[in-house]
């Protein structure tokens, strides 16, 4: 699959259009997988952002405090339409779920005894994790294309430490990040090109 580059990008959308796209992602994100949805729409469908830029946003969103999805949304909105884009994106993404989750809470008592519904919900939630796994694969493919060993090691080490061993994120990132950045730091006379 060809990776979209800066030349292939579509012109930035209006604030209204950007908000509309994120609003519908929020509304239809049953079971989660929002980062995967945002990537799909913003990078692939509308080509408002490059894959590379998006992945750098993913890293920022995960490392900074706050929900990863809202951080990513702010980054994406900012890259597409500046500060107003970020504000619009965040409110558009969150407004639907804010109302819907309360409605679900109100309705929950009436439906909690139907096992079929529970099975639907659990099934959708499990499948939605797959959307984020897909995004992980996109990130891995990008690392692979760097043709460097260090980023691959950094990825696997982070995954094993945080995901498998369940070590706390902060010290893990504080140790791995400087090493990972140092390994790809431009050397004198040479340049770091991905």
Partner 1 sequence: MREDSSLSPYLALMSVFVPLSLVAIGGGPSIFAPIQKEAVDVQHWMSAREFIEIFAVARVAPGPGSMLGTLIGWKVAGWSGAIVATLALFVPSSLLCLAVSKVWNRYRGREWHAAMEMGLAPIGTGLMFSGAIAIFRMAQAGPLAWGLAIFVGAMLTWRPRMHPFALLGVGALVFNLDLWLAQSGLLR
Considering only 18, 19, 21, 36, the residue that binds partner 1 (CB under 8 A) is: 36
Residue 175 CB contacts under 8 Å (≥ 6 apart), including other chains: none
Number of residues that bind partner 1 (CB under 8 A): 104
Count how many residues are written for the chain. Answer: 194
Integer Cα distance of 18 and 14 in angstroms: 6
Residues from 72 through 131 that contact partner 1 (CB under 8 A): 74-75, 78-79, 83, 86, 90, 94, 96-98, 100-102, 104-105, 108, 115-116, 119-131
> Per the structure block, which two tokens stand in for 181?
């950045």
> If DSSP codes are grouped into helix, strand and coil, which group holds residue 88?
helix
152 touching partner 1, by CB under 8 A: yes
- Segment near partner 1 (CB under 8 A), from 5-13, 14-22, 49-57? 49-57
Considering only 12, 20, 30, 46, the residue that binds partner 1 (CB under 8 A) is: 30
CA angle 75-145-70, nearest 5°? Answer: 15
Nearest to 26 by CA among 88, 110, 111: 88
164 touching partner 1, by CB under 8 A: yes
29 touching partner 1, by CB under 8 A: yes
């Amino acid at each position: 699959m060809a990776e979209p580059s800066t030349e292939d990008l579509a012109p930035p959308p209006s604030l209204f259009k950007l908000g509309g796209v994120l609003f519908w992602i929020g509304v239809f994100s049953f079971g989660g997988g929002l980062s995967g949805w945002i990537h799909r729409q913003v990078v692939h469908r509308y080509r408002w952002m490059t894959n590379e830029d998006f992945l750098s946003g993913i890293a920022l969103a995960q490392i900074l405090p706050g929900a990863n999805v809202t951080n990513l949304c702010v980054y994406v909105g900012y890259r597409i339409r500046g500060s107003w884009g970020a504000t619009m994106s965040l409110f558009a993404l969150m407004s639907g779920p804010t109302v819907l989750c309360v409605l679900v809470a109100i309705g929950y008592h009436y439906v909690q005894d139907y096992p079929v519904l529970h099975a639907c919900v659990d099934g959708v939630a499990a499948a939605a994790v797959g959307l984020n796994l897909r995004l992980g694969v996109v990130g891995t493919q990008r690392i692979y294309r760097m043709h460097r060993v260090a980023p691959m090691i950094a990825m696997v080490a982070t995954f094993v430490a945080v995901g498998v061993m369940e070590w706390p994120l902060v010290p893990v990132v504080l140790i791995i990040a400087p090493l990972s950045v140092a390994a790809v730091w431009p050397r004198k006379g040479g340049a770091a090109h991905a």
